[in-house]
């Protein structure tokens, strides 16, 4: 599975408030957890659904830290994941794939009432990294 090299769903979430105001969508609740109001910080990674995915990916990579909200995660990446080693490459690929698939699942839930489990999304990301870097990433699904 190929993922974009960058992800910026910010503008789409900002517009959700405007879309809700004119009655196009019914709820401002997060379509992933159904509990909190949707925002970028909630979707990435305060939401229990998305946090579960990213936490599992961090552990898979040997990183035992907690997930942070989107801006903090990006700041961490700028400071720590800009090297050309395996761990930094895996982190960058994981955060992009994670954001892409979470956003994709969010949109599918809203528009088609279909959803994937956090386990399915985690497996997709791990498998994509394994397929692209089979020589150094063990597959632990």
Residue 41 CB contacts under 8 Å (≥ 6 apart), including other chains: 69, 70, 71
> pLDDT band at 3, cuts 50/70/90?
low
Rg (the chain; Cα; Å): 15
Return the pLDDT at 133.
53
Is residue 59 within 8 Å of 47, Cβ to Cβ? no
Say whether pLDDT at 132 is over 70: no
Return the pLDDT at 8.
54
Return the pLDDT at 55.
95
Q: Token pair 């109001």 is at which residue? A: 37
Output the pTM of the full model. Answer: 0.74
Q: Token pair 């395996």 is at which residue? A: 86
Q: Tell me how far apart the alpha carbons of residues 110 and 112 are, in angstroms, rounded to a whole number.
A: 6
Quote the DSSP letter at residue 47.
S
What is the rounded end-to-end Cα distance, in angstroms, of the chain? 16
Return the pLDDT at 83.
85
- Proportion of the chain above pLDDT 70, given as a percent: 74
Q: Tell me how far apart the alpha carbons of residues 34 and 107 are, in angstroms, rounded to a whole number.
A: 14
Say whether pLDDT at 127 is over 70: yes
pLDDT mean over 1-13? 52
Number of Cβ within a 10 Å radius of residue 3: 18
The string of pLDDT tens digits covering residues 41-85 is: 899 999 999 999 999 999 999 999 999 999 999 899 888 888 888
């Amino acid at each position: 599975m190929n993922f974009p090299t960058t992800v910026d769903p910010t503008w789409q979430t900002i517009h959700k408030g405007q879309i809700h105001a004119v009655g196009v969508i019914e709820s401002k609740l997060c379509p992933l957890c159904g509990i909190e109001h949707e925002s970028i910080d909630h979707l990435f990674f305060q939401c229990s659904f998305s946090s579960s995915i990213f936490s599992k990916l961090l552990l898979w990579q040997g990183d035992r830290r907690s997930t942070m909200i989107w801006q903090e995660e990006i700041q961490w990446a700028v400071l720590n994941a800009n090297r050309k080693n395996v761990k930094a490459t895996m982190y960058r690929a994981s955060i992009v794939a994670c954001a892409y698939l979470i956003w994709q699942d969010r949109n599918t839930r809203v528009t088609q009432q279909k959803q994937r489990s956090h386990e399915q999304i985690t497996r997709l990301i791990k498998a994509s990294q394994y397929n692209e870097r089979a020589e150094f990433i063990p597959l632990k699904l």
